[in-house]
Chains A and B, each alone.
Chain A
Amino acid sequence: MTPNIIIEDWGLINYLDGLERQRKCVQRVIEGAGDHLILCEHPAVLTLGRMTNPQSLLYERKEIEARSVTIERVDRGGDVTLHAPGQLIVYPVFNLNKHGKDLKAYMEELEEVAVDLLKNFGILAISICGQRGVFVGPDKIISIGVGVRKWVTYHGLGINVNTDLSLFDLIKPCGLNVRMTSMQKIKGHAMPMADVKTKIIEQFGKHFK
């Protein structure tokens, strides 16, 4: 299904350890390795993108850390977001020299992958012009933020599969006054993560040939 994409599943991995592994993968792709699609989950962490507004954090650092949530600054676009177990993290490390050197087109393709993924599970989602990410009604279900080095991508999507949504009360996600949702909340039961992984791999294979 994905003959040109190397799939890696890192399971549950500390955010900074994952970031270090991701950077090494980016370097390998820059040096000529094939596209990689990395799947993982992170223990609860708030990541602050390059454009984070301090007011997007709704609590003091020590109050956030008291809930066992760490805070890290990262080199991706966008504002603050939350990662936690139950959220499927997808890091496409793709060489855009092979897929068109167009950041806007790449971001839109990621959104289409996400919308088609959710369609597989009977969830009607949309992307909204001017607001990156994917929404179900007014609620955001998938966040997107990427970095690009020598036209090789890193960072990617946070898909709320079975995420503890109460953790989003700590922040204004992506700097927006938006409510977050999850596949679990919409379907009314926990979703099998393995199935979501299988489907997201299929969708990347269809969209990035």
Chain B
Amino acid sequence: MTKIILPELGEGIVKATIACWHAKVGDSLQRGQEVCEAVTDKASFVIEAPAAGKLESICVDAGQEGLVGGVLGTIE
């Protein structure tokens, strides 16, 4: 299982809102495929799948805030 992590986005940024998911649980993903977008401070940041596999879970739904370093979802 591989975790999709909200990466470091810059100094002082500790959280971001997940604007949308481009995949749903069960979808097959390629490594590097765009899976979701995080928005902070009027900047939208595209987050990619860190590994190939199936999207196993979404831990932070669209519209909710995730913490930098926190798990947004998992890939099986």
Contact = CB atoms under 8 A, between A and B. Distances in A.
Contact of A50 (B8, B9, B11, B44): B44
What is the interface of chain B mostly: helix, strand, loop, or mixed?
Answer: strand
A164 interface: no
B5 interface: no
Interface residues of B, number: 20
B45 A145 contact: no
Interface in A64-104: 75-78, 101-104
Contacts, number: 70
A105 B10 contact: yes
Contacts of B48: 150
A41 B13 CA distance: 32
Contacts of B13: 103-104
Contact of B42 (A75, A102, A105, A107): A107
A75 B39 CA distance: 10
A104 B11 contact: yes
Contact of B10 (A49, A50, A75, A102): A102
B47 to A, nearest CB: 10
Given A101-B10, A104-B13, A105-B10, A148 B41 contact: no
Contacts of B34: 149
B13 to A, nearest CB: 6
A146 interface: yes
Interface string B3-29: 000001111110001011000000000
A75 B45 contact: no
A148 B44 contact: yes
Contacts of B9: 102-104
Interface of B: 8-13, 17, 19-20, 34, 37, 39-46, 48
5 contacts: A51-B17, A104-B10, A132-B41, A132-B42, A147-B44
Given A149-B46, A150-B48, 20 more contacts: A50-B19, A50-B20, A50-B37, A50-B39, A50-B44, A75-B44, A76-B42, A103-B45, A104-B10, A104-B12, A104-B13, A104-B41, A107-B41, A145-B42, A145-B43, A146-B43, A146-B44, A147-B43, A148-B43, A148-B44
